[in-house]
């Protein structure tokens, strides 16, 4: 289990002030919390949504708090929204031989510069990019949570740039991995038909699979203490 430095605190989001800040009720106090996702998180209006918050003593931070997860479904599961935390979870799984895509890695590097871009990991000479999709949440929200009209996600330019970089490594390495990480129990993810240029992304993936691209998915259970692996499965055949 990947453990947080300190247990998370439960609160209620009062509003998402802007892309970067959420106002959260912690106990009897309203605090400004960093929102780790600058884009859309599902189609939710966050007024009244339960959340988990981490704290930091970093003097460089504008706020001492970060919203780590939200809960919106009848099961009450926590949905991790901190995409950087997903990378830390993957790094922990690699360090503890808990990621089946690389069962016993010997050399693990993070933030690898490739051309004019960066890829999240290089494991035993193989590049891996990690994505934690949040533009669509694969749970059914309770009716008390307000939802906006669905709009087309626009965060695909960065995905396409990283995917192109990852694919460009295949002639040399013969293998590359695109790993989707969900910090909740999500179904098999094969893309979002409402996503801008979704058809182009699917085509790029299909063509690259023939050259050695592998698609994998990790689901993790997030609690106040940390993140536990639910499952890690290869999903390449779902993209062919």
| pLDDT exceeds 90 at position 58 | no
pLDDT beyond 60 at 1: yes
pLDDT tens-digit map of 126-185: 999 999 999 889 998 888 876 666 555 555 677 888 999 999 999 999 999 999 999 999
- Domain over 83-239 is classified CATH 3.40.1350.60: yes
**pTM of this structure:** 0.92
Q: Identify the pLDDT of residue 132.
A: 94
The verdict on domain 2-79 having CATH code 2.40.50.580 is yes
User: Per residue in 222-239, pLDDT tens?
Assistant: 999 999 999 999 999 999
The pLDDT of residue 188 is 96
Residue 146, pLDDT score: 67
Q: Give domain limits for the chain.
A: 2-79, 83-239
> Which pairs from 19-24 meet CB under 8 Å and 24+ separation?
21/63, 22/46, 22/51, 22/67, 24/51, 24/53, 24/65, 24/67
Q: What residues have CB less than 8 Å from 85, skipping those under 6 apart?
A: 36, 68, 183, 227
**What mean pLDDT is predicted for residues 190-218?**
89
Do domains 2-79 and 83-239 share one topology? The answer is: no
Residue pLDDT, tens place only, 72-126: 998 899 999 999 999 999 999 999 999 999 999 999 999 999 988 899 999 999 9
Q: Give me the mean pLDDT over the 207-236 stretch.
A: 97
206's CB contacts (< 8 A; 6+ apart) are 239, 240
Name the pairing type of β-strands 126-131 and 108-114: unpaired
């Amino acid at each position: 289990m990947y453990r947080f430095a300190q247990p998370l605190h439960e609160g209620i989001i009062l509003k998402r002030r802007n892309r970067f800040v959420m106002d959260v009720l912690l106990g009897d106090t309203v605090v400004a919390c960093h929102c780790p996702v600058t884009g859309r998180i599902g189609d939710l209006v966050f007024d009244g949504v339960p959340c988990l918050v981490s704290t930091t003593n970093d003097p460089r931070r504008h706020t001492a708090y970060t919203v780590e997860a939200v809960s919106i479904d009848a099961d009450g599961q926590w949905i991790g929204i901190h995409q950087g935390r997903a990378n830390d979870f993957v790094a922990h799984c690699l360090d503890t031989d808990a990621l089946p895509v690389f069962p016993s890695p010997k050399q693990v590097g993070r933030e690898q510069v490739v051309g004019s871009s960066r890829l999240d990991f290089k494991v035993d000479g193989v590049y891996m990019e990690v994505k934690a999709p949040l533009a669509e949440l694969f749970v059914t929200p309770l009716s008390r949570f307000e939802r906006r009209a669905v709009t087309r996600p626009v965060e695909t330019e960065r995905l396409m740039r990283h995917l192109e970089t990852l694919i460009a490594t295949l002639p040399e390495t013969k293998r590359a991995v695109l790993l989707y990480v969900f910090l909740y129990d999500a179904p098999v993810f094969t893309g979002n038909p409402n996503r801008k240029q979704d058809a182009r992304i699917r085509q790029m993936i299909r063509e690259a699979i023939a050259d050695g691209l592998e698609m994998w998915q990790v689901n993790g259970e997030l609690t106040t203490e940390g993140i536990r692996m639910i499952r890690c499965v290869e999903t390449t055949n779902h993209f062919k």
